[in-house]
Every structure is written in C-alpha cells, then in structure tokens.
C-alpha cells in the first residue's frame, strides 16, 4: 500500500487563502502565550519503520506525509457569518453523540459560530420529500447527549441524489458540512465536495470516520472500537460461564466484523477465555481430523468445554453468496453463527459426543451503548480537529489519529482500501498463542 502512495495525493485542498485571524489567537494569548499554532508544513510520516524510510532515502523519493490537524492562526471562514451542519450516516456505533457534541461545543464556544444545524436521519435529511426537519444545534441542546448511545440526529443507510443534496446545502447557506460515517458515507461526502467544487460553491466537507469494525485505513483506531471490544468481552464471559457449567458445553459468540476481525481478536485477547477465533482474513476447513469441527470436539472431550468467537464475515466460503445487498450496497452475508451452531450439533451427534451449545449474538446491544471514557476522549479530540479543519477552509478530508498524532487524510485515500488483520503479523499470532488453536484449521 505504501509503495503505491503518491505524496502529492496526500495534499489537502483549501477553499482559498486564509486571511481571517482565528478567535483562538486571542484566547490562547490570554491563557497560554506560548501555545503554538499549526501550519500546513507540520507533517507526519505515513510509514515510520526504519526499513521503509531507508528505502525511500535510497530511491531519492519524497516521503509520503500526512498534514497535522489542529488550529491554524489564520482561518478561511468568518465565524460570525459561518453556517455549519452535521450529519450521521450508516449503522450505530458508540461515540456518535460524543462527536456531535464535541463539534457543537468547539464551533460555538471556541470559534463563536452561532448557526449549527443537525441533518436528521443521514443523507435522507437533505432530500425534502422525506419531510425531515432540520435541527438547530446549541450547546444546551447537546449538553447531555453523550450520556446516551445511538445518534441524537438519527441515521439512515444508502446514497441519495448528490445534486439535490448540494442544492439543499446551498439553500441552507451551509459553509461547512461534517459527515460522521463509514467508508460508504465518506464516499458520499467526497461526491458532495466534488459537486460543490463544480458549482464554485464555498463548501468545506470534513469527515469524521466511523466504523465499529475498525477497518478504515490510515488511522490508529476508529472511535467506538474500544467500547465495542469491551462490551464484546462481557458476551464472551457469559458464553464461558454457560460452557463450563454444562456437560459438553460450548459457548459460541458472533461479533461484528464483515471484512476485518479486529473486534473478535480483541475480545479473545481481553477475555483470555476463548479457544478458537474465526475471522474473515483466515479461511478454515470444517471437515477432517484437523478441521474446525473435529478440533473443537476434541477440545470438549479433553477439557469439558470450549468457547468460540466468530466474526460475522468469517467462513463465507462455506455459505455461498446470498445474491442480495443492503441499503448501503453491501453484500448481505450468510449467517455464519447459525451455520456453525448447526454444523457443530450435527458433528457431535454423529460422533456420539454430548453437547450443550449456547449461541450468543450481542451485536446490536454492543452498537447501542454509550462510549467508554477513553472513546469519549478520542471522540472529543476528533470533533475538535474537525472544526479546526473546517474553519480553516480545508475540504475533502477526514480527521484521524496516525502514530498518535491527529492528522488530515484525503477522503479518497482513506476509502481506497480496507484495514484488515494480517495473519502474518503479531495481532493474529497473539490470538493463536492465547487460544491455543492451530494456525489453520485444514
């Protein structure tokens, strides 16, 4: 991925020259005279491993770098004339309300922006026929929303007509649109940015990436992931209790992870109670002496019980294509949880081995919980960085944390590939060491 990353593709577009003194200049001068503003020349290396750095130097190439996020001394938009809007799209994820609140508080109190609107029910809210009323967002309105799960603005899946959405944004005189959503939503955001650019509209589009699966590239983690992993551990504890309390007990837990198994891996490592983890990145065989079914049976025979985690996208090679897509255009996956439950039951019966299997799918319970304290901090920082970027007139970017530094990543780059668990790297090795499962079920 790094080899094909053109440094010029990491340039962040700005709507124009920044000529307005930031209100933060006065605030910082009064509270911390030594505080440093960031310039566009503050950069962070995309790759920090010595071998990659040495290679770039040897080839005489330019280093791919991300622009550092944060306040600029000069901004593009006049706060007194600025209209902001926030939209949340896609599935639920812990921390959505925290990000909404952070954007409102930052824009209102630090920059003095007084016109902040909430777009209800995702991109649907920009299509008048749906009849969704635009929400006026104030600090009082969002003061306590971070204590609740879900999204205070509502959400929806699927694309809407880009031309009509930009029409609506222009009718509302929106200068900055904050899009909180996953890779599909961010592709919608870049389509909005491109259409606004064609029209010559001074609209800054800033994304805050949301993916509970932690599968967007060029970021240390996605918000909500830590909360989701912690909640998943509770489901694993329940499965372990059920399994060890029954004769021939198996606790089977299905967790989120359409394409990437990060939550499954994290829950296994954090609980220390899991005997097998199945993720989309690692195919597995069902039958045979070293196949999944027999290895799990032998585990139950020798130790009395077993705990299994499967990511929702694991084992799709055994289920075949459903031929269906959801509202977001994603392929509908086969239900690996129920499939494994049935196959394990059949295999144990065929072998005459007692089995008591309890199946747990906590996915929607996990998605709906409020963010943990650590995730709340992360959401706050992302919201603040997004407002800094928007007020500076930067557009077509997401804010993210990379190598522990908050940065600007072009949306086109952030959506160009998917982050996945590498079976050859240390995360998967740690899972294998923790569970004791074979590297491959074959």
- State the DSSP code for 393: T
pLDDT at residue number 6: 87
Q: How far is CA 424 from CA 281, 383, 427, 441, in A?
A: 11, 34, 9, 16
Question: For the segment 351-399, what is each residue's pLDDT rounded down to a tens digit?
Answer: 999 999 999 999 999 999 999 999 999 999 999 999 999 999 999 999 9
- State the DSSP code for 325: B
Same domain, 167 and 314: no
Catalytic annotation, pick one of 98, 213, 215, 361 = 213
Same domain, 206 and 242: no
Nearest to 410 by CA among 401, 421, 423, 399: 399
Q: Are the C-beta atoms of residues 441 and 287 closer than 8 Å to each other?
A: no
Q: How far is CA 16 from CA 77, 145, 237, 393, 438, in A?
A: 10, 35, 54, 7, 57
Same domain, 320 and 233: yes
Does 411 map to a domain? no
Distance CA 118, CA 120 (A): 6
Question: For the segment 62-115, what is each residue's pLDDT rounded down to a tens digit?
Answer: 899 999 999 999 999 999 999 999 999 999 999 999 999 999 999 999 999 999
Report, as ranges of residue numbers, the positions in the chain whose pLDDT lies below 70.
1-4, 29-34, 325-329
Element (H, E) at 166: helix 162-171
Counting Cα atoms < 13 Å in the Cβ hemisphere of 253 gives 35
Same domain, 254 and 171: no
Q: How many CB atoms are closer than 10 A to CB 145?
A: 19
pLDDT at residue number 34: 64
Residues in the chain: 442
Does 332 map to a domain? yes
pLDDT at residue number 50: 86
Same domain, 330 and 352: yes
Full residue range of the structural domain in which residue 287 is found: 228-368+423-435
pTM, to two decimals: 0.94
User: What's the total number of domains in the chain?
Assistant: 2
The tokens for 433 are: 């060491």
Phi, psi of 59 (to 5 degrees): -85, -5
- Residues pairing with 307 in the sheet: 251
Does 417 map to a domain? no
pLDDT at residue number 48: 83
Nearest to 79 by CA among 382, 393, 386, 380: 393
Q: Which class for 62: exposed (0-12), middle (13-18), buried (19 or more C-beta within 10 A)?
A: exposed
Same domain, 216 and 238: no
Does 410 map to a domain? no
Does 60 map to a domain? yes
pLDDT at residue number 440: 92
The tokens for 126 are: 């920009």
The tokens for 194 are: 């491109």
pLDDT at residue number 49: 84
- State the DSSP code for 282: S
pLDDT at residue number 1: 46
Same domain, 305 and 212: no
Same domain, 208 and 255: no
CATH number of the domain enclosing 356? 3.40.50.460
98 in catalytic set? no
């Amino acid at each position: 991925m790094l080899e094909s990353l053109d440094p010029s593709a990491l340039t962040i577009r700005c709507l124009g020259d920044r000529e307005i003194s930031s209100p933060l200049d006065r605030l910082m001068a009064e509270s911390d005279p030594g505080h440093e503003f960031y310039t566009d020349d503050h950069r962070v290396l995309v790759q920090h491993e010595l071998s990659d750095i040495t290679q770039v130097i040897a080839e005489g190439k330019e280093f791919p770098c991300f622009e550092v996020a944060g306040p600029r001394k000069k901004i593009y938009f006049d706060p007194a004339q600025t209209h902001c809007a926030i939209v949340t799209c896609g599935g639920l994820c812990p921390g959505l309300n925290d990000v909404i609140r952070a954007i409102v508080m930052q824009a209102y109190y630090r920059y003095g922006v007084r016109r902040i609107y909430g777009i209800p029910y995702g991109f649907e809210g920009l299509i008048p026929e749906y009849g969704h009323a635009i929400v006026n967002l104030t600090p009082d309105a969002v003061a306590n929303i971070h204590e609740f799960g879900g999204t205070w603005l509502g959400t929806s899946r699927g694309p809407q007509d880009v031309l009509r959405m930009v029409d609506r944004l222009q009718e509302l005189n929106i200068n900055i649109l904050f899009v909180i959503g996953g890779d599909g939503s961010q592709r919608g955001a870049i389509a909005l940015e491109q259409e606004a650019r064609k029209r010559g509209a001074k609209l800054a589009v800033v994304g805050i990436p949301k993916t509970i699966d932690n599968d967007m590239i060029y970021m240390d983690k996605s918000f909500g992931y830590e909360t989701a992993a912690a909640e998943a551990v509770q489901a694993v504890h329940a499965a372990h209790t059920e399994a060890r309390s029954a004769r021939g007990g198996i606790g089977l837990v299905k967790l989120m992870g359409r394409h990437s198994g990060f939550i499954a891996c994290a829950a296994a490592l954090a609980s220390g109670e899991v005997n097998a983890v199945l993720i989309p990145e690692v195919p597995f065989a069902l039958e045979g002496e070293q196949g999944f079914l027999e290895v799990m049976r032998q585990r139950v025979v020798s130790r009395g019980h077993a705990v299994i985690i499967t990511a929702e996208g694991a084992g799709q090679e055994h289920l075949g294509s459903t031929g269906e897509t959801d509202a977001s255009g994603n392929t509908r996956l086969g239900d690996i949880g129920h499939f494994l439950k049935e196959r394990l039951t059949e295999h144990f019966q065929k072998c005459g081995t007692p089995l008591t299997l309890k199946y747990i799918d906590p996915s929607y319970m996990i998605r709906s919980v409020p963010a943990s304290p650590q995730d709340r901090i992360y959401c706050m920082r992302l919201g603040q960085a997004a407002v800094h970027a928007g007020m500076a007139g930067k557009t077509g970017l997401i804010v993210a944390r990379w190598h522990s530094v908050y940065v600007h990543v072009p949306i086109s780059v952030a959506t160009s590939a998917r982050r996945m668990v590498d079976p050859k790297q240390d995360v998967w090795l740690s899972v294998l060491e923790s569970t004791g499962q074979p590297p491959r079920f074959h």
